């Protein structure tokens, strides 16, 4: 068996192999430290974990050490914020070399805009009578350079504006609602280029979450495939059964590898805990077969 430090061709032994390839730590907008995320995954029965913090790789060494201590496999991961036709989309990268200079420079460039964006989000919230959001969200961000809408969401819950994150994101912080601002993220070509230059493999995160018509989704997937994208998340903590069916069908049609990830951000906040998702539907090629 080859190391999962970087990409390694390997066929996993069993059909009941529990992979969770999408989750977050305090290095981005998760609630648990990277080592605690890995330890929790192992105790939930995960066989192969990817920590996929937004736009940074800082948690990978601690996650790897904790995974090794628990006897669980870990593959390097990241979730890259891009914009495609004015829409914010997330591209997951896996099994890359974390020291790759192009990948690190690209992620640093994305991060550099987040604090300015957070000030603009706060100014928009002030217009609807919500004061102190920048400071409030920053206090909740263990890693200030990764200040995210999740931190603003938690601030709005803590200040009693809404009862939970789900209802926050129905009324705030999303396009057309207070607290949403446009932002220049990476392009799709940038993200795929960085991942491939670092020897990794890309997957579209939670494709069911994007407000794309069917023809636009097909256009997006075709462009993604043309640029070298090889996988999509089919089973995701933010997918309904209908999404699983739709994206399972699209994965077969486009020849994409299929991925599975909870998108766990923290206990009591995420709908699915680490490793506690349905298996991939039959007939799909799991992405972990090519790690």
Could you give the CA distance from residue 177 to residue 194 in angstroms, rounded to a whole number? 32
Task: Give φ, ψ of 74 to 5 degrees.
Answer: -135, 135
Residues 25-54 that bind ligand AMP (CB under 6 A): 29, 54
Our finding on whether 233 is near ligand AMP (CB under 6 A) is: no
Number of residues that bind ligand AMP (CB under 6 A): 12
Burial label, 38 (beta-carbon count in 10 A; 0-12, 13-18, 19+) = buried
Q: Which of 4, 7, 29, 137 binds Mn ion (CB under 5 A)?
A: 29
Segment interacting with Mn ion (CB under 5 A) among 8-16, 29-37, 68-76, 161-169: 29-37
Residue from 148, 196, 236, 262 binding ligand AMP (CB under 6 A): 148
Residue 246 interacts with which of ligand AMP, Mn ion, none, CB < 5 to 8 Å by class: none
Stretch that binds ligand AMP, among 1-9, 44-52, 143-151, 280-288 (CB under 6 A): 143-151
Q: What is the dihedral of CA 185, 187, 192, 198, to 10 degrees?
A: -50
**Binder among 263, 264, 270, 277 for Mn ion (CB under 5 A):** 263
- Nearest Cα residue to 29 out of 122, 151, 138: 151
Place of tokens 């790759």: 100
CA geometry: angle 275, 5, 228, nearest 5 deg: 85
List the one residue from 166, 228, 240, 253 that touches ligand AMP (CB under 6 A): 166
100 touching Mn ion, by CB under 5 A:
no
Tokens found for residue 103:
């990948």
125 binds ligand AMP (CB under 6 A): no
> Tokens representing 82?
């891009």
Query: How wide is the angle at C-alpha 269 spanned by C-alphas 243 and 242, nearest 5°?
Result: 10
> Among 93, 130, 113, 114, which Cα is nearest to 7's?
93
SS3 at position 115 = helix
Which member of 22, 149, 206, 239 binds ligand AMP (CB under 6 A)? 149
Task: Assess 141 for contact with ligand AMP (CB under 6 A).
Answer: no
For residue 78, the 8-state DSSP code is E
- The residue from 118, 146, 205, 231 that contacts Mn ion (CB under 5 A) is 205
Q: Which is nearer to Mn ion, 47 or 263 (CB)?
A: 263
Binding site for ligand AMP (CB under 6 A): 29, 54, 81, 88, 148-150, 153, 165-166, 169, 265
Binding site for Mn ion (CB under 5 A): 29, 79, 90, 150, 205, 263
């Amino acid at each position: 068996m080859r190391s999962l430090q970087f990409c390694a061709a390997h066929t996993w032994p069993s059909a009941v192999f529990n992979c969770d390839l999408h989750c977050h730590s305090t290095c981005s907008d998760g609630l648990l430290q990277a080592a605690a995320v890995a330890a929790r995954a192992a105790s939930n029965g995960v066989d192969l974990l990817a920590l996929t913090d937004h736009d940074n790789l800082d948690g990978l060494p601690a996650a790897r050490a904790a995974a090794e201590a628990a006897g669980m496999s870990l593959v390097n991961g990241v979730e890259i914020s891009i914009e495609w036709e004015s829409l914010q989309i997330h591209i997951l990268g896996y099994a890359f070399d974390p020291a790759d200079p192009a990948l690190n420079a690209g992620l640093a460039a994305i991060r550099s805009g987040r604090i300015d964006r957070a000030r603009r989000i706060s100014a928009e919230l002030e217009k609807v009578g919500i004061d102190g959001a920048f400071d409030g969200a920053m206090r909740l961000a263990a890693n200030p350079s990764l200040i995210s809408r999740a931190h603003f969401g938690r601030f709005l819950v803590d200040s009693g504006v809404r009862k939970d994150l789900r209802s926050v994101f129905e009324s705030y912080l999303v396009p057309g609602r207070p607290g949403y601002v446009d932002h220049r993220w990476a392009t799709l070509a940038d993200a795929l280029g960085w991942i491939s230059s670092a020897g990794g493999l890309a997957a579209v995160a939670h494709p069911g979450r994007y407000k794309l018509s069917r023809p636009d989704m097909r256009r997006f997937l075709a462009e993604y495939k043309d640029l070298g994208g090889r996988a999509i998340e089919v089973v995701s903590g933010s997918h309904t059964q209908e999404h699983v069916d739709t994206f399972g069908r699209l994965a077969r049609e486009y020849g994409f590898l299929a991925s599975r990830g909870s998108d766990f951000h923290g206990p009591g906040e995420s709908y699915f805990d680490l490793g506690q998702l349905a298996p991939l539907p039959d007939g799909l090629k799991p992405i972990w077969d090519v790690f």
